[in-house]
């Protein structure tokens, strides 16, 4: 066996290409100059700037988990028909005496909604009433102020 007949045990290892012809030469896949091309770059997340521009709900104090919207206390017209007799006046005081609402409900506002039939002439004052119930009250001979 002579020297020119010898063969390698392993194949030739291809050297890493550098420059224009290689896969990761020149800019190494980082585009051109600037902050993004530098080592150890730190970019501020874009969502942070969006968050800073959004309006915040401030000045809510200690009760920030309580709803800002006032919920009205709703009473069905059928309950009022059972509780009150003809000619009675229904307002916040008479509703609390009849135990249909509590004082908490009175501060939130009260509204009479459908759900039942009214057949007595009952007068309402200082209470919110839905359109359909208002028509039924006036048809029965009552009034809404």
- CATH number reported for the structural domain that contains residue 101 in this entry: 3.100.10.10
| pTM: predicted TM-score of the whole model, two decimal places | 0.51
Residue 78's nearest CA partner among 103, 46, 112 is 112
Alpha carbon distance 108, 73 (integer Å): 7
Ranges of beta strands (E only) in 42-102 are 73-76, 89-90
Strands 110-113, 143-144: parallel, antiparallel or unpaired by DSSP?
A: unpaired
- The model's confidence at residue 27, banded by pLDDT at 50, 70 and 90, is confident
Residue 39 tokens read as 């080592």
Q: Using the CB atoms, write b or e for 58-76: b if 16+ within 10 Å.
A: eeeeeeeeeeeeeeebbbe
Q: Looking at the domain assignment, is residue 81 inside a domain? A: yes
Mean pLDDT of 19-39: 81
- As to burial, measured by CB atoms within 10 angstroms (0-12 exposed, 13-18 middle, 19+ buried), residue 136 is buried
> Could you tell me if residue 53 is inside a domain?
no
pLDDT tens digits, one per residue of 83-138: 998 889 998 889 888 988 887 655 678 889 888 889 889 999 988 899 999 999 99
Q: Give the whole-angstrom CA distance, residue 10 versus residue 83.
A: 101
Domain assignment present for residue 117? The answer is: yes
Question: Can you give the residue range of the structural domain that contains 117?
Answer: 73-144
pLDDT 10s digits, 55-80: 887 777 777 777 777 778 889 999 99
Confidence of residue 40 (pLDDT cuts 50, 70, 90): confident
Indicate the pLDDT class of residue 4, thresholds 50, 70 and 90. very high
Number of structural domains, the chain? 1
pLDDT at res. 51: 93
- Name the one residue in this structure whose structure tokens are 């919110």: 128
Domain membership of residue 131 (yes or no) is: yes
């Amino acid at each position: 066996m002579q020297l020119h007949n010898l063969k390698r045990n392993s194949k030739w290892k291809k050297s890493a290409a550098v420059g224009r012809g290689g896969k990761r030469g020149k800019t190494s896949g980082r585009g051109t100059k600037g902050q993004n091309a530098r080592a150890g770059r730190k970019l501020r997340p874009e969502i942070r700037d969006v968050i800073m521009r959004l309006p915040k709900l401030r000045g809510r104090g200690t009760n920030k988990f309580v709803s800002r919207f006032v919920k009205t206390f709703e009473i069905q017209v059928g309950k009022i028909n059972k509780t009150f007799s003809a000619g009675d006046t229904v307002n916040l005081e008479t509703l609390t005496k009849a135990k249909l609402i509590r004082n908490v409900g009175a501060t939130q506002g009260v509204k009479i909604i459908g759900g039942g039939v009214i057949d007595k002439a009952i007068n309402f004052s200082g209470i919110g009433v839905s359109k359909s119930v208002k028509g039924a009250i006036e048809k029965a001979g009552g009034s809404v102020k």
